[in-house]
Amino acid sequence: MPAKNLLSSMFGRSPIGPIQQHIAKVHECATQLVPFINAAMSDNWEEAAKIQADIANLEGEADVLKKEIRLSLPKSLFLPVPRTDLLDIITVQDKVANRAKDIAGLMLGRQMSIPTELQPEFKDYIARSVDTSAQALKAMSELDELVETGFSGREVDIVEKMIEDLDAIESDTDKIQVAIRAKLFQLEKQLPPVDVMFLYKIIDWIGDLADRASRVGSHLQLLLAR
C-alpha cells in the first residue's frame, strides 16, 4: 500500500493538506499588499479601502483554517510529524497574514502617503517581502512529499535548497530596508514628524512580514533535522 494511503488509513484525514491550504491563504493575503501599496502611492484611498477589506477577509479565512486545524489535530494518535511542530508552523504562518492586515490597516487608517522620493525603493521592498511569503508557500508545498518519503532522500535536498533561497530573499529585504531607512533619514526634515514616525513603523512591519515568512522555513528546517 502506498505510504500516503497507509497514513490515511491509519490516521484518517492527514493534517498536511489543511496546513498547506493555510499557507496558501496566508500568501494570498500578503500578495494583496502590492496593489494596496500602489493604490496608496496614487492616493487612491477608495481602491486602497477595497483591497484592505480583501486583506482583512483573507486574514479572517486564514484564521478560521488555523482554528479548524488546531481542533482537528489528534492528541493521542501517532502523527507523521510531532503535533507540537505542526501547531508551531500554523502559528508562524498565521502571523504573516496578521502582519499584512496590520500594514494595510495602519496605512489606510492614517491615509499614509509614501514620499515620491521613496516610492521606487518602497515598491521593491514590498515586492521582495511578498516574495518571502511565496517562497515559504513553495517550501511548505513539499511537506506532503517529505512525509511520504519519511524525510529522507532527494526530497530533503530539494526542500533544504528552497529554505536557503527563502533565507536569501529575506536577506534582500533587510538590505532594502536599510536603504529605505537611510533615504527617509535624509528626508525627515522635509516631512511632518508624526508622518515620519509612522513611516518608520510601516518600514519595520514590512520587514517583519518577511522575517515571519522566513520563520516558516526555519520551522520546516527543524522537521528535517529530527
What does the alpha-carbon distance between residue 144 and residue 80 come to, in Å, rounded to a whole number? 10
Answer yes or no: is pLDDT of 80 > 90: no
Domain positions in the chain: 14-225
- What's the whole-number mean pLDDT along residues 63-83? 80
- How would residue 10 be classed by pLDDT, with cut points 50, 70 and 90? very low
What pLDDT does residue 6 have?
43
Decide if pLDDT at 5 tops 70. no
Identify the band that residue 121 occupies on the pLDDT scale cut at 50, 70 and 90. very high
C-alpha cell at 178: 536599510
Backbone φ, ψ for residue 200 (5° rounding): -60, -40
Query: Are 34 and 127 a contacting pair, CB within 8 Å?
Result: yes
Show contacts of 43-51: CB within 8 Å, 24+ apart.
43/111, 43/113, 45/108, 45/111, 48/104, 48/107, 48/108, 49/108, 51/104
Average pLDDT, the chain: 91
End-to-end CA distance of the chain: 25
The topology under which CATH files domain 14-225 is Methane Monooxygenase Hydroxylase; Chain G, domain 1 (1.20.58)
Task: Name the pTM for this structure.
Answer: 0.90
Answer whether residue 76 shows pLDDT above 80.
Answer: no
